[in-house]
Amino acid sequence: MPTLLDHMSNSIVKALLIGNSKSGKTGSLVSLVKAGYKLRILDMDNLLDVLKYFIQKECPDKIGNVEFRTLRDKQQWTPDGPKVTSPRAYADAVRMMQHWKYDDTDLGNPAGWGPDCIFVLDSLSRLCDAAFDFRVPLTPVGKSGHGDPRATYKDSQDAVENNIANLTSESFNTNVLVIGHVTYQEMPDGTIKGFPQGVGQKLSPKIPQYFSTVLLYDNVGGKRIIKTNSTPLIDLANPKPFEMGDKYLIETGLADIFEVLTGSPNAGRPEPRSKESKTIIQPVERSLGRPNQAGLGGANRPMQPRAIKG
The pLDDT value given to residue 264: 58
Write down the domain spans for the chain: 4-308
Contact yes or no for 251/297 (Cβ under 8 A): no
The pLDDT value given to residue 8: 61
Helix intervals (H) in 136-183: 149-167
* Cα gap 210→16, rounded to integer Å: 9
Q: At what angle do helices 124-135 and 89-98 cross, to 10 degrees?
A: 120
Q: Which residues pair with 294 in a beta bridge?
A: 300
At a CB cut-off of 8 Å and minimum separation 6, what does 57 contact?
none
* Cα gap 127→119, rounded to integer Å: 15
| Per-residue pLDDT tens over the stretch 41-99 | 999 999 999 999 999 999 999 999 999 999 999 888 877 777 888 899 999 999 999 99
* Residue (of 220, 265, 222, 263) closest to 243 by Cα position: 263
45-65: burial string, b at 16+ Cβ within 10 Å, e else: bebbebbeebbeebbeebeeb
Query: C-alpha distances in angstroms, 3 versus 6, 7, 8, 10?
Result: 6, 7, 11, 12
Contact yes or no for 94/246 (Cβ under 8 A): no
**Consecutive H or E run containing 285:** none
The dihedral region occupied by 36, where left means phi > 0, alpha psi between -120 and 50, and beta the remainder, is left
**Which CATH code, of 3.30.70, 3.40.30, 2.40.360, 3.40.50, is assigned to 4-308?**
3.40.50
The pLDDT value given to residue 85: 82
Q: Considering the chain, what percentage of its residues have pLDDT values greater than 90?
A: 72
What is the identity of the amino acid at 68? Answer: F
Contact yes or no for 308/248 (Cβ under 8 A): yes
How many other C-beta atoms are found inside a 10 Å radius of the C-beta of residue 27?
26
| Per-residue pLDDT tens over the stretch 162-193 | 999 999 999 999 999 999 999 999 999 999 99
- Which residues of the chain fall short of a pLDDT of 70? 4-9, 264-310
Q: What 3 state SS string does 6-43 have?
A: HCHHHCCCEEEEEECCCCCCCHHHHHHHHCCCEEEEEE
The pLDDT value given to residue 299: 37
What pTM was computed for the model? 0.83
